[in-house]
Amino acid sequence: MKAVYFAWVRERIGLSEEEIAPPREVATVRELIDWLSARGDGYAAAFANPGVIRAAVDKIHAGPNAPIDAAREIAFFPPMTGG
Amino acid sequence: MKAVYFAWVRERIGLSEEEIAPPREVATVRELIDWLSARGDGYAAAFANPGVIRAAVDKIHAGPNAPIDAAREIAFFPPMTGG
Amino acid sequence: MSAPQPAPTVRVQAEDFDAAREEALLLEGRRDVGALVAFTGLCRDEDGALAALELEHYPGMAEAEIARVAAEALARWPLLGLTIVHRFGTIKPGERIVLVLAAARSRRDAFAAAEFLMDYLKTRAPFWKKERRADAAPGEWVAAKTEDDAAAERWR
Amino acid sequence: MSAPQPAPTVRVQAEDFDAAREEALLLEGRRDVGALVAFTGLCRDEDGALAALELEHYPGMAEAEIARVAAEALARWPLLGLTIVHRFGTIKPGERIVLVLAAARSRRDAFAAAEFLMDYLKTRAPFWKKERRADAAPGEWVAAKTEDDAAAERWR
């Protein structure tokens, strides 16, 4: 699946997108955040405070318990500041 | 003093404005309405339901008990429907 | 330090207005406005029954009363600009009747002020609408709506 | 008989927009609109501290999420027209960021829908603002405001 990052999540990770292949037991958005956090310092910094991280699964807002098994694209970003 | 009339008050009275000289004991907007009502059928029709009549003294909204002794121009009209 | 209150623009006129031009005038040279709310009131055709509205007004008082309502809005909300244009005379379906522009730092203030102004104009500005019917039958004076009074009361 | 829901116009673009043109398109040929509310969000200079905002967005999701919010507004209020334009990229003080147009028979519906849309766009549309400072110091990402969440919560 594809992971995409925006705003300071993108800056801290140092990538705007990448292909990822989490193991089968990583089943939810929250579990994916934990799995990504272990990939390096940038990821750990980006996800240090998971409570402020927002996610979208296939371009629809998704909560921490949303399943990711059917996802093609998962996005992580800070709270939105548009408008 | 000058009396000015708008909308259906004007149509029923048949005048848009006129000079009036009410006697000294006609001291308030409400008393002026009563005095005008006695001047003819058109006036009586215009003021038949005094509760819906709005008034302005020198171009400022005025209630039925507002004094008229210092007024130069008194206006009578139905509830407003602008905007 | 709070900025001085802006002078509102108030006009009562027979001619149509250009909302884009009024907006440009209000925003000209400004970089502190974050929110601009523009309300335009238009003449509806009432499913084809209406040929036109005849808007009667009280010259002199109309301008003065709108200015009083504008001053009240400026006292209530920290506005950076305020424009009100109200037409009179013959107005056909699809044509504009009234424009309110409220500029502020934040959207909450701009929205509240614009809505307040419309509620108050409806019940306090000396304008009266008479319907000219499409079937040439005698037109009626538009009746004031109780809901408009209720809307204005909300702000007390 | 209630009219069919209009198709909202939703655009996400780098270019500036022309509010007057969007209004003309929305009102074209209509005689049933009584109230048009236009909200324009602009970039403030924050007392000279800001050189520009860099607006990042999530292409594809931005359009889809705005369309979802628009559909929610159309389901809640009897709107006759709805246009939302949101810009991304570099936006300087005094320049426009977002436009919401809501047309309805009555002003209450047009005001409520426009305010609802702005409250929801702020908290749901995937856009992020980074400040470019006038003094060339490193700019910060704009923090989401708790009050924006509270504003969006009002509508639940």
Distance from CA of C97 to the nearest CA of D (A): 9
Question: pLDDT under 50 in chain A at which residues?
Answer: none
Q: Which residue has the higher pLDDT, C42 or C154?
A: C42
The beta-carbon neighbor of D128 closest among A56, A61, A78 is A78
- Please answer yes or no on whether D123 and A79 come within 8 Å at the CB atom: yes
* DSSP-assigned beta bridge partners for residue D28: none
Give yes or no for residue D99 having a pLDDT over 50.
yes
- Please answer yes or no on whether D42 and C20 come within 8 Å at the CB atom: no
On chain A, the residues whose CB falls within 8 A of the CB of D143 are: 79, 81
Give yes or no for residue D1 having a pLDDT over 80.
no
Which residues of B lie closer than 8 Å to C, measured between beta carbons?
Answer: 4, 6-8, 56, 59-61, 75, 77-83
Q: Which residue has the higher pLDDT, D149 or D120?
A: D120
C102-141 b/e (C-beta count within 10 Å ≥ 16 → b): bbbbebbbbbbbbbbbbbbbbbbbbbbbbbbeeeeeebeb
Distance from CA of B2 to the nearest CA of C (A): 14
D94 at interface of C, judged by CB pairs closer than 8 A = yes
Distance from CA of C53 to the nearest CA of B (A): 11
Give CA–CA dist B67/B13, Å, rounded.
23
- Please answer yes or no on whether B83 and C126 come within 8 Å at the CB atom: no
At C11 the three-state DSSP class reads: strand
Give CA–CA dist B31/B50, Å, rounded.
11
Give CA–CA dist A10/A15, Å, rounded.
6
Task: Parse chain A into domains and list their residue ranges.
Answer: 2-77
pLDDT confidence band for D114 (50 / 70 / 90): very high
**Angle formed by the axes of helices C107-124 and C61-76, to 10°?**
150
Phi first, then psi, for residue C55 (nearest 5°) are: -100, 110
B17-72 pLDDT, tens digit each: 999 999 999 999 999 999 999 999 999 999 999 999 999 999 999 999 999 999 99
Distance from CA of C43 to the nearest CA of B (A): 10
Distance from CA of C112 to the nearest CA of D (A): 9
Neighbours of chain C (3+ CB pairs under 8 A): B, D
The confidence score (pLDDT) of residue C1 equals 44
- Please answer yes or no on whether A75 and D61 come within 8 Å at the CB atom: yes
pTM above 0.80, yes or no: yes
D57 at interface of A, judged by CB pairs closer than 8 A = yes
On chain D, the residues whose CB falls within 8 A of the CB of A60 are: 61, 64-65
Give yes or no for residue D150 having a pLDDT over 90.
no
The beta strands (E) that lie in chain C are given as: 9-13, 35-42, 50-57, 79-87, 89-91, 96-104, 127-133
- Furthest-apart CA atoms within chain B: distance in Å: 38
Q: Domain D9-153, what fold?
A: Aldehyde Oxidoreductase; domain 3 (3.90.1170)
Q: How many CB pairs lie under 8 A apart between chains A and D? A: 73
On chain D, the residues whose CB falls within 8 A of the CB of C31 are: 43-45, 93-94
Distance from CA of C71 to the nearest CA of B (A): 15
D28 at interface of C, judged by CB pairs closer than 8 A = no
Task: Please report the sign of the dihedral spanned by the C-alpha atoms of residue B61, residue B63, residue B69, residue B73.
Answer: positive
C51 at interface of D, judged by CB pairs closer than 8 A = no
Q: Which residue has the tokens 């960021």?
A: D97
- Please answer yes or no on whether B61 and C86 come within 8 Å at the CB atom: no
Instruction: Decide if C112 contacts C137 (C-beta within 8 A).
Output: no
D87 at interface of A, judged by CB pairs closer than 8 A = no
Average pLDDT, chain A: 97
C1 at interface of D, judged by CB pairs closer than 8 A = no
C101-140 pLDDT, tens digit each: 999 999 999 999 999 999 999 999 999 999 999 998 889 9
Give yes or no for residue D3 having a pLDDT over 70.
no
D18-70 pLDDT, tens digit each: 999 999 999 999 999 999 999 999 999 999 999 999 999 999 999 999 999 99
On chain D, the residues whose CB falls within 8 A of the CB of C23 are: 19, 40
Give yes or no for residue D128 having a pLDDT over 60.
yes
Give yes or no for residue D141 having a pLDDT over 80.
yes
Q: What is the ipTM of this complex?
A: 0.94
Instruction: Decide if A64 contacts A28 (C-beta within 8 A).
Output: yes
- Please answer yes or no on whether A6 and D118 come within 8 Å at the CB atom: no
Superfamily of domain B2-77: Beta-grasp domain (3.10.20.30)
- Contacts by D144-149 with C-beta closer than 8 Å and gap 24+? D144/A78, D144/A79, D144/A80, D144/A81, D148/A83, D148/D119, D148/D122, D148/D123, D149/D123
Instruction: Decide if A76 contacts A64 (C-beta within 8 A).
Output: no
User: In Å, how far from its chain's centre is CA D135?
Assistant: 29
Rounded mean pLDDT of C45-74? Answer: 97
pLDDT confidence band for C156 (50 / 70 / 90): confident
- Please answer yes or no on whether D58 and A78 come within 8 Å at the CB atom: no
D64-87 pLDDT, tens digit each: 999 999 999 999 999 999 999 999
